[in-house]
A = this chain, B = another copy of it.
């Protein structure tokens, strides 16, 4: 405890210290809980706001390593690069083994080969991309009639027609909902069809399944993502672009529509990979852990700058910020770069399994996985009674426009979800996501989409939040378990 006070005070600007002395009562309050005083939190915030270290690490990750789907050479290179960057900060880095799915994209193409009104010799190309977990067509593709539906109910109503067909789920992404700050629910609605649609189509005998890309952009880009298929009916499954879904729906309205589809992905044996874990050891409560994290794997189409390079860089930035200020927390701050969030969450599961005898020591977790949009506050699944304790933190984040604390019963951050279900409260930067799903899971999720200033704000929020959680005097408490 003394060490902490000494170090914290040792780095405060002199004027701030003088102000603390002169303020009398306020200064006494600060001394009562020195680690989480406004001066220290502000110092952390301001230091992060001046530092491009995290952005530089994000540039290294995206420009030098690039895509890093679980099991790929990129994922392996990313583990090495991120571990090395944190070793250079002086952190103790551990690689936690994780067995990950190993799915590899193959050739992919689509062609509308017959439809009402088709001129002789004409076919229409469809832009599509295989979903992670998709089965394969023959190498030369397959040809089948297309059944277009717009909901699961419509699929059921046409259940008898699905056999032998390619089923297209033409379900639009609700960008207006996303624009109103509800990108998550808008995504959830569409993602339900991506995750579960192909399996439901397979159960009805469909030979392949297509989903309309889950995202709001209109640049004929396909959004990949995971789908869940039974091994016994692993049919080919792909996302078509919004434009191509609209085209297919219009052509189907003119009459029978036939498609040639080629998808040749491979599902290989599970591969060896790792969560990258770096600890900033705590002082008097070192056995209690505050996790701050993002996921290191990405989809294979892009360099995953926002999903979730920004989250990893932000979490690493917490370490860099506190190291630079030479601040030691009371609890251990544990930076984790998760492996395999995208298509298995095996990293989160492996960590949970390894922690299951000491779950109460996992006192809080942060995961940033909603992109690098400007943060305007903090989301959390703490119990309601604990919420007022966060007022000093939010006061320190208010000057950068990030002072809003929003509580939810469950956040559902993928990698932390098992811990959250077990009672650990989860936190994340609350960010502007209105354009996040324009780029999400597409080839366009690249470094240029990350505003360096916004990323510095992320680091500021995550650093102050991590510090605050690691130094709270009071128990943080547990979530409302479902």
Contacts and interface: CB of A to CB of B under 8 A. Distances in A.
A200 B265 CA distance: 41
Given A64-B118, A124-B66, A448 B243 contact: yes
A220 B64 contact: no
A379 to B, nearest CB: 27
Nearest to A78: B119
Interface string A39-72: 0000000000000000000011001111100000
Given A77-B119, A77-B122, A122-B73, A218 B444 contact: yes
A271 to B, nearest CB: 14
A64 B243 contact: no
Interface in A412-451: 438-439, 442-444, 446-449
A229 to B, nearest CB: 26
B220 A444 contact: yes
A117 interface: yes
A204 to B, nearest CB: 28
Given A64-B117, A73-B121, A448 B246 contact: yes
A292 interface: no
A250 interface: yes
A119 B61 CA distance: 10
Interface residues of A, number: 45
A434 to B, nearest CB: 15
A448 B242 contact: yes
A130 to B, nearest CB: 16
Which one of A59, A118, A446 has the greatest number of beta carbons of chain B within 10 Å? A446
Contacts of A444: 218-220, 243
Interface string A238-281: 00001100110011001000000000000000000000000000
A66 B303 CA distance: 32
Count copies of this chain in the complex. Answer: 2
Contacts of A121: 73, 77
A217 B65 CA distance: 25
A221 interface: yes
A80 interface: yes
A74 interface: yes
A67 to B, nearest CB: 8
Contacts of A73: 119, 121-122
Interface in A79-132: 80-81, 115, 117-122, 124-125, 127
A188 B134 CA distance: 44
Nearest to A245: B448
A302 B220 contact: yes
A39 B305 CA distance: 59
A254 B73 CA distance: 22
Nearest to A118: B64
A330 to B, nearest CB: 37
B127 A443 contact: yes
Contacts of A125: 66-67
Contacts of A442: 219-220
Given A218-B448, A444-B219, A247 B302 contact: no
B81 A243 contact: no
Interface in A125-147: 125, 127
9 contacts: A65-B119, A65-B122, A77-B120, A217-B219, A219-B219, A219-B221, A220-B444, A221-B221, A250-B447
Given A63-B247, A220-B221, A243-B444, 7 more contacts: A63-B124, A64-B117, A219-B219, A219-B221, A219-B444, A220-B443, A243-B448
Interface of A: 59-60, 63-67, 73-74, 77, 80-81, 115, 117-122, 124-125, 127, 217-221, 242-243, 246-247, 250-251, 254, 302-303, 438-439, 442-444, 446-449
